[in-house]
Structure formats: C-alpha cells, structure tokens
With several copies, the nearest count.
Chain A
Amino acid sequence: MLDQPDVPDVLDGDFFRRWLITAAEAVDREADRLTELDSAIGDADHGANLRRGFAAVTEALAGSEATAPGALLALAGRQLISKVGGASGPLYGTLLRTTGKTLGDADEVSRADLAQALRAGVDAVAKLGGAAPGDKTMLDALVPAADALATSFDAARAAADKGAEATIPLQARKGRASYLGERSIGHQDPGATSSALLVTALAETADAHQGSGGGV
C-alpha cells in the first residue's frame, strides 16, 4: 500500500456515479454552511442552489442507463445547467459537461485522463466566467485541484482545500462578492468552498474504491 498511494487508476462508470452521489450528499450536508458563506459576501443562496442541482443530478443518474464516465459527467452538467440557475449553475454545469465531453465515450478512464479532462473543464469555466485564479472564485480551488490530480487524488483534495482557504484574504474581482470591494476581504468564497467539497468527494470515492478492491 505504501508504495501504491495513488490507486485506483481504473475509473469506470460506477466510480463516476459514486463520485457524483457522494458529492450530492456532501452538498446536501453542507448546504447551510455554503449559504452562510454566501450571505457574508453574496446573496445567501449558494447552498440551496447546489442542493437543488445535485438532487436533480442524483435523480437523473437513477433514471439513466449511461455507463461511460464522460456521458455521466455530461448528464450531470446538463442537469446543473437546467436546474440551478445563478452563476454557479452554468459554471458548474459547464465544468462537468466539458470534463465529460473531453473524456469522450470510453468505458474506463485513468486518473491521468480525468486530470487532463478536468483541466479542460476548468479552462471552460475560466473562459465562460472571465475569471482567473486570485479573483476569489471557484477557480481558486479548481485550478490547483486539477493540477494536483495529475499527482494523486489526495493531492487534489489537499490542493482544493488549500485553494478554498486561500480565498479568505482575497478581494473579490468576479461574481457578486466583487460589489463589496474591500469588504469582501476576510471571508471564504462559497464557490471555492463547494469546489473543495466536490474534490473531497472525488478523493473519498477513490479511497472507497480502493478499499472495495476496485483499484489496480
């Protein structure tokens, strides 16, 4: 085990389903905290938005036969676009759709494939929203997480957490927190926080996958 810190490396449809469901559970559990963060520098809806969106994702997954990782992520992305609204709906929706599309229709992908596809998804988010790391948005967690995923799931989780926390001293330059100017300083960004939740759910899914013997 010690010399295999990074299993599993074969990620199938089942893995992606479990990731999305784990993410939905985490969002549901943490929705109030996300809303609380959003009420400090936003409009107090981020938790409710993502809870609604991921509930729709869970439901759509249950009703879908899809098995390819890419198709599952694209399905989830479309749900977020149709059900969330706000800034986070199109942004997270685009993240998952682009990541999914980049993965193509393979039945199994590697962590390296996922890291690369996530990088494409994150780029699409940056393009759509016009934000860059340091602007105090979800990108502050997503960009380092995508980079670190090339190394390991755990590294991605750590990078996302660190990125989310690092938004605290930043002044927002995108999204509604930017309206606050300097008053946005001192608060953790809700979107970066939810991004860290999603990446944590990914690492947890990988942990369980490994435990259940699904890894290499």
Chain B
Amino acid sequence: MLINVPETVVADALRGMAAAHPELTVDVENRVIVRRDAPVADKVALVSGGGSGHEPLHGGFVGPGMLSAACPGEVFTSPVPDQMVRAAAAVDSGKGVLFVVKNYTGDVLNFDMAAELAEDEGIQVAKVLVDDDVAVTDSLYTAGRRGTGATLFVEKLAGAAADAGAPLERVEAIARRVNENSRSLGVALSACTTPAKGSPTFELPPGELELGVGIHGEPGRERRAMMTSREIADFAVDAILDDLRPRNPVLLLVNGMGGTPLLELYGFHAEVQRALTERNIAVARVLVGNYVTSLDMAGASVTLCQIDEELLGLWDAPVRTPALRWGV
C-alpha cells in the first residue's frame, strides 16, 4: 500500500485533499471537510459522511450544488458524532441541516447521536437514510438495506434543491424520494485490502466472483464462477428490476469499485445499456466512473434512479465539486 502507517492514513489523505482543493476548508485534526464559503446565507445545508475508503464519496462531493460538508471516519468505520456536530455548526445558516446517512448500524447510531447533540445546540436537523442495495433483503432478519451508489444521487439532487432555495422539509422530501426511487447491485471480482488489515478482506480465487457485495469489502450474497461482462450486466439489471420497475426514464450510475480499469468499466457500461434497452428502460442521464469505491476492490455496481421532470432538472443543475462538475 502507498501509505506511511495505517494509523495516519485518513489524516494524511485529508492533508492531501487540503493541498489539492483550495476551494475546500479541510480541518485535518477534527476531520471535517467544508465548503470554503460556508455557511451560505439562507440556504439549507447538507452534511454527509461515513467511513473512509469510498473516495471520492463523500469529501469529493463537497461544493456548490452538492454537499456543504463531509465527515470522513476511519477506513470503513462510520465517523463519530463530534465530527457531524462540528460540521453542522460550520455550515448551518439558520435554515437547518440535512444529514445524508447511509444505512449501516454504525452510521445510523452515530448520526442519531449527532442529531440530538446538534439540536441541543439549536441547529434544526433532518435526516435521510439511503438504503438502495437490493442484495440485502430489508427484513427483521437484517440490518436493512445498505446505502451504496444512490448516495451520489441523493447528495446531488437534494444538494441542487437546497441550492435552489428549497426549505429543509422540501430538501428532505426530495432526498427521500430519490432514495425510494433508487436501487443498486454490486459485484466484486476481488476483495479489497484495508490498511489496518494489510491483506485482502476475504479470499476470492481468480476465476470466481462475488455477487451482491456492499462497499466495505464484505463478501457478497453468493459466490459464482466468473461471468462475462454481459452476464454480469444482465444479472445486475434483473436484480434491480425485480424490485423497482421504473415507468419513467432513469438516471444510471455505472460505478467502479476502485480497482477495475476505466477501460473495463466503459465496456461494462455498454452491456448495461444493452440490458436496459432490451428491457425497455429509457436512460435519461448516465455517469460512468469510480464514485463510490471500496479501496482497491475490482468490481462494479449499477444504480438506477427513476426520475421525473423535476428530478431531471435538479440533476442537470450546475455542480462544482472535486469529483462532479458541470453547468456553469
């Protein structure tokens, strides 16, 4: 690994982010990444965060049109409440703060504690849980669906709504709507290596793959003999459409897990497009790249979000962050 020691990986990365992005204020000690111009007057603020190792999520999505601040935890470990409270205080303009929380026990518990503490400090807080991963059954027998690729959609679309001046309840409602209309499925062609462990999180022999993986190097729901890009695309699209049958056009995210070359990811995207066309799903907008990663894991995930005119407008609205930028 290209690191100094496992203990300083997150702090080192934050120093590197600070030097790379003058438009952000990076508090390395307290682990908070904030838009330099925060708080932006009269605007609802968005705060997200989670374990590190998913870069560019979330820090790379801080900026006009998206997040106001991000709180990076240790690798694959949710941040602590102190970070979120500090972030909320830094970005709140008085119009309130939306916490965007991926549905993992750790993230939920820490953000819940933070929301209580922030409210004690007089900050109005709303929360939205992202839980889009169809590999996990949402039942009494699980911690519920995981939050994965849809996080990008929630942060972008709710961020655009906040930019457009929507009040907190409205921004929250949009975030919830985006989540409810989004589904993802991920596959791993290799495990990933966390700095703390220093070796792959699980053994995956070459010639096999894991279907239905999350973004934390966990094994998936099922192991199979290697499939072609075409077969994986069919599998992922079917798994998603089993659960969400979009009647409107969709936003499509074909996301690399970190270790899959962009060359392969584009090829996989071609197969996903084919699979969607064959199933009569219209794609309104698409994003292909490494956005919600699992360190160096090889693999990819597919996320669909059914949209309407309003959400499409929010998607096309300008965004200016390290990892996502378009419009003026």
Contact = CB atoms under 8 A, between A and B. Distances in A.
B113 A43 contact: no
A90 B116 CA distance: 13
Interface stretch (A22-30, A45-53, A59-67, A139-147): A45-53
Contact of A90 (B73, B106, B194, B219): B106
A91 B80 CA distance: 12
Interface stretch (B14-22, B87-95, B135-143, B268-276): B135-143
22 contacts: A45-B75, A45-B194, A45-B196, A48-B74, A49-B77, A81-B81, A82-B80, A85-B51, A86-B51, A86-B73, A86-B77, A90-B106, A90-B109, A173-B142, A176-B104, A176-B218, A178-B141, A178-B143, A179-B146, A179-B218, A180-B221, A181-B221
Contact of A82 (B82, B201, B202): B82
Interface residues of B, number: 37
Contacts of A183: 219, 221
B201 A174 contact: no
B266 interface: no
B143 A175 contact: yes
A91 B109 contact: yes
B39 interface: no
A87 B219 contact: no
Given A90-B109, A174-B143, A183-B219, A39 B104 contact: no
A35 B74 contact: no
A176 B143 contact: yes
A120 to B, nearest CB: 19
A157 B287 CA distance: 53
Given A43-B76, A49-B74, A176 B216 contact: yes
A151 to B, nearest CB: 32
A13 interface: no
Interface string A167-203: 0000101111011110100000000000000000000
Interface in B218-257: 218-219, 221
A87 B196 contact: no
Contacts of A42: 216, 218
Interface of B: 6, 51, 73-82, 104-106, 109-110, 113, 135-137, 140-143, 146, 194, 196-197, 201-202, 214, 216-219, 221
Interface residues of A, number: 36
The 9 closest A-B pairs by CB, nearest first: A43-B216, A90-B109, A86-B106, A48-B196, A87-B106, A87-B105, A178-B142, A86-B77, A43-B76
A111 interface: no
Interface of A: 35-36, 39-45, 47-49, 52, 81-91, 128-129, 171, 173-176, 178-181, 183
Contacts of B113: 81, 90
Contact of A85 (B79, B146, B194, B214): B79
Nearest to A36: B197
Contacts of B202: 39-40
